Amino acid sequence: MSSIKKLLSDTVIYGLTTIIARVLNFLLTPFFLRKFESSIYGIFTNLYSYAAMINAVLAFGMETTYFRYLQRVDKSDKEKVFNNSFIVTLFATIIFVATMFIFAEPIAGFVKSVDLQPQEYIVFVKLFAVILGADALAVVPFARLRAEGRPIRYGVIKIINITALVFCNLFLLYWLPSLMERHSFWQEFATGWFREGWLGNVFISNLIASVVTLVLLLPQIAQFSFRIDGALMKSMISYSFPILIANISFIINEHLDKMMFPKLIPTAQGEQDLGIYGAVAKIAIFLNLFVTAFRLGAEPFFFSYAKNENAKQVYAKIMDYFIIAMVLVMVGLTANISWLKDFIRGGEFEREVYWSGLNIVPILLFNNVLLGIYMNLSVWYRLSDQTRYGLYISVVGAIITVMLNITLIPTYSYVGAALSTSLTYFVMVTMSYSLGQKNYPIPYNKWKAIFYLALAIISTAGMYYVFDNNVWLSNALLLVVVGSVVYLERNFIKSVAVKLKK
């Protein structure tokens, strides 16, 4: 129980940080939607999907590799692990940024949309090059903070990052235009670089926040020494490469639909639909942040606890209650769509445009549940140094994603994109569970998991199709679900209560 308590404490700390950061970011969404038309927000969604893919490449799987090799080397060699990990991301970043600036024009031509001029995209490409470079250089220092058990400093830096992002966005999108109308000082300040209502202001804000974060991580970066351990580097690259490919494949599963949208529906309607898709996906962020918070707390724990005799039993128990927690969050969010939708109402004339996509929110929530289960299941191939299986699973998932997107998006738009993700994650979960039971068996209670997943599907379907998202009836059903969970898990809840009292 003490081990689970330690996991919970770390997850709570990381979770609070993640929740605060994601909620603040989420609260920016109404400001973006009121400032930009749905087609422009579609461009925003498209570019950040490419950014997610590039982030995975630049990180090169070094976050997971760093945690793993800290457990494999002697204490005296831990600095070598940090040095090697940071060198990889440093070289990848230098090559990437240089390439983006040299080939900015053809890259801009590839990603451009129907609404903006190519010159606009050249500026965007260069801004994103620096943003992604700064973010990549922060990956290993952040991992070091987690490995050293310093969640408070980790959390403070993350909060400063999101605070800077929010402040800069509000300043450039709303406050500066207002100040320019009243004061000549601000007019002179903005001359030559500022454009009111420009999408690039969002990217400039992101750039400032990323650079501020990197500066705050300088104490960790300063511990870096440019010394390469050749044998260790070879081993680390061998371990991380399958993770890199798996991460890329995962990003394909998660974001390829948004990247392919302008290609599969190359019209203004396609960009508007992508804007709707990106906006309604924000409602699912609350479940996604729970999954992210769990990963941040669980990944170091799984590696450090692997040597214990009861490790597999503990991992199985964690899966049980992780699924229960996700199901409750999924049902709770679905029960309150009727007022959460106000966060994506957009401008006066686009309210119904964004709300037309609310029917896929339960699907997006369920996708996040499946994603969380897959991330939890992936512990088996990471701990057993069989990362090639993560590669195989993710590549299969990526192939299915591409095929389903090409088939479904042109006909069913964002509904097809959401369903493609559901089918892909289901296949990946099934594959990971089956392969894991053969190669690194963990005694998961699969029937319990299936029961709670079925409970989530039935409950959310009832709220949407029977209660028509009525907030009172839906929340009454939510209370029934919560009560049922408490009754079914009463023995575990009592045992936890007793332990906490002691």
Band the pLDDT of 389: cuts 50, 70, 90: confident
Where is average pLDDT lowest: 147-161, 259-273, 286-300? 286-300
Band the pLDDT of 5: cuts 50, 70, 90: low
Which amino acid makes up residue 34?
R
For position 28, what pLDDT does the model report? 83
Mean pLDDT, rounded, for 428-453: 92
CA distances from 423 to 109, 288, 399, 415 (A): 32, 18, 12, 13
Report residue 497 as tokens: 């209560």
The residue ranking higher by pLDDT, 379 or 421, is: 421
Mean pLDDT, rounded, for 87-98: 92
For position 299, what pLDDT does the model report? 64
| Burial bucket for residue 436 (CB in 10 Å: 0-12, 13-18, 19+) | buried
Nearest of 97, 96, 91, 101 to residue 140 by alpha carbon = 91
For position 1, what pLDDT does the model report? 47
Mean pLDDT, rounded, for 146-154: 82
For position 300, what pLDDT does the model report? 65
The residue ranking higher by pLDDT, 353 or 177, is: 177
The residue ranking higher by pLDDT, 282 or 477, is: 477
For position 14, what pLDDT does the model report? 65
CA distance 65 to 361: 34
**Is residue 365 a contact partner of residue 291, using CB atoms and an 8 Å limit?**
no
- Asked if residue 221 has pLDDT above 50, the reply is yes
Percentage of residues of the chain with pLDDT beyond 70: 90
| Burial bucket for residue 390 (CB in 10 Å: 0-12, 13-18, 19+) | buried
| Burial bucket for residue 454 (CB in 10 Å: 0-12, 13-18, 19+) | exposed
**Is residue 209 a contact partner of residue 127, using CB atoms and an 8 Å limit?**
no
Condensed to tens digits (0 to 9), the pLDDT of residues 318-376 reads: 888 889 989 999 999 999 988 888 877 766 556 677 888 888 999 999 998 998 899 88
Mean pLDDT, rounded, for 19-44: 80
Nearest of 255, 286, 257, 250 to residue 378 by alpha carbon = 250
* Residue 178, domain extent: 2-501
Q: Cβ contacts of residue 461 below 8 Å, gap of 6+?
A: 362
**Is residue 131 a contact partner of residue 203, using CB atoms and an 8 Å limit?**
yes
Q: What average pLDDT does the chain have?
A: 85
Band the pLDDT of 231: cuts 50, 70, 90: confident
Condensed to tens digits (0 to 9), the pLDDT of residues 124-141 reads: 999 999 999 999 999 999
Nearest of 96, 157, 154 to residue 128 by alpha carbon = 96
- Asked if residue 72 has pLDDT above 90, the reply is no
Where is average pLDDT lowest: 245-249, 277-281, 344-348, 366-370? 344-348
For position 152, what pLDDT does the model report? 82
Residue 116: phi and psi, rounded to 5, are -120, 155
The count of domains in the chain is 1
Q: Cβ contacts of residue 3 below 8 Å, gap of 6+?
A: 301, 305, 308, 314
CA distance 46 to 133: 19
Nearest of 98, 102, 105 to residue 120 by alpha carbon = 105
Mean pLDDT, rounded, for 288-305: 69
- Asked if residue 227 has pLDDT above 60, the reply is yes
Q: Cβ contacts of residue 262 below 8 Å, gap of 6+?
A: 42, 46, 113, 114, 270, 271, 274
Report the predicted TM-score, pTM, of the whole model to 2 decimal places: 0.75
